[in-house]
Amino acid sequence: MTSINTNNAAMAALQTLRGINQGLQTTQSHVSSGYRVGKAADNAAYWSIATTMRSDNKALSAVSDALGLGAAKVDTAYSAMDSAIDVVGDIKAKLVAATENGVDKAKVQEEISQLQQQLLSIAQSASFSGENWVAGADGTKNVVASFVRDGSNAVSVVMTDYVLDDGSAGNVLFGMSNGAVETSTGILGTSNGATGSVYAMDITNFTLGQIQTALTNVESALKSMTSAGAALGSISKRIELQENFVSALSDSIDSGIGRLVDADMEEESSKLSALQTQQQLAVQSLSIANSSSQTILSLFRG
């Protein structure tokens, strides 16, 4: 039955056209944004996961920056310790030379004094961003290592610690007091019996036995400095490994987020073409359905 009050065919065609237009709008949004889940209404679970992981990735980016700063601090300390080891090695060579008969110990001491001042200069200069890891009082230095989200979704920042020890067998060249280098503590500043400290040692009037003792003390200092340098090198290597891991982890998170929310552009392109064709057909169908009322009018013409 055909009615001029109710055009069922037109209503059905219009409903179909509305559905197609809605699908077309959604597909066009996917194509323009590149996301199939761009807001919570698209898929609440995936949107929530992606939003959380994006925030974690921002935290990882901050960790990467902090690791760079930490690496600079450690590298500065290592360079200073390495340079100080070379200087103390030179002092050791001067002491060996002073054991020869007829050597003017006063002249040798002049050279040693210059080397001692160089050690102090190295310790004072080994500061990065206000932190000095080769001249300092007992305490703990640390650098950011990683950002962690555990199985219960609790978040935390993990630190790498480096404990300063200003004893004679510790890991700093000199101690620190009231912001100034304290030359009576640390590996080079701590007094070693009759020969004094490596920094304050004066061999001008030393006997051969005292020079031998001074050599022993210098060798002990070199051992402590080498141990400290090895520890700094280990931390530097760990930071390097962590930097590489954070970079790889960030890329993995980006990839995982993409799998959840990114649109498949080949699929969306195909869908867009199909929906545009369906839209044209639906418009044509609606036009045909609306023309049926004109057909009824012809029945009343004589």
123, 197 in Cβ contact below 8 A? no
Task: Tell me the C-alpha distance between 213 and 201, whole Å.
Answer: 11
Q: Is 82 exposed, middle or buried (0-12, 13-18, 19+ CB in 10 A)?
A: middle
Tell me which residue of 261, 102, 120, 131 sits closest to 187, measured CA to CA: 120
What's the rounded Cα separation, in Å, for the pair 197 and 227? 19
Q: What is the DSSP string of the chain?
A: ---SS--HHHHHHHHHHHHHHHHHHHHHHHHHHSBS--STTT-HHHHHHHHHHHHHHHHHHHHHHHHHHHHHHHHHHHHHHHHHHHHHHHHHHHHHHHTSTT--HHHHHHHHHHHHHHHHHHHHH-EETTEESSB--SEEEEEEEEEEE-TTS-EEEEEEEEEE--STTSS-SBEEETTEEETTSHHHHS--GGG--TTT---TT--HHHHHHHHHHHHHHHHHHHHHHHHHHHHHHHHHHHHHHHHHHHHHHHHHHHHHHB--HHHHHHHHHHHHHHHHHHHHHHHHHHTHHHHHHHHT--
- Contact between 60 and 250 under an 8 Å Cβ cutoff? The reply is yes
Residue 2: the pLDDT is 61
pTM: 0.78
Question: Which residue bears the tokens 């070693």?
Answer: 192
pLDDT score for 217:
95
| SS3 per residue for 240-273 | HHHHHHHHHHHHHHHHHHHHHHECCHHHHHHHHH
The angle formed by the CA atoms of residues 6, 11 and 17, to the nearest 5 degrees, is 165
Q: Both tokens of residue 4?
A: 């001029």
Closest CA to 158 of 172, 147, 142, 170: 147
- pLDDT tens string, the chain, 302 residues long: the values are 566 666 777 788 778 878 888 877 777 777 777 788 888 888 899 999 999 999 999 999 999 999 999 999 999 999 999 999 999 999 999 999 999 988 999 999 999 999 999 999 999 999 998 899 999 999 999 988 888 888 788 889 889 999 999 999 999 999 998 888 999 999 999 998 888 999 999 999 999 999 999 999 999 999 999 999 999 999 999 999 999 999 999 999 999 998 888 877 777 778 878 878 888 887 877 777 777 666 766 766 65
How far apart, in whole angstroms, are the C-alpha atoms of residue 39 and residue 46?
A: 9
CB 253 within 8 A of CB 55: no
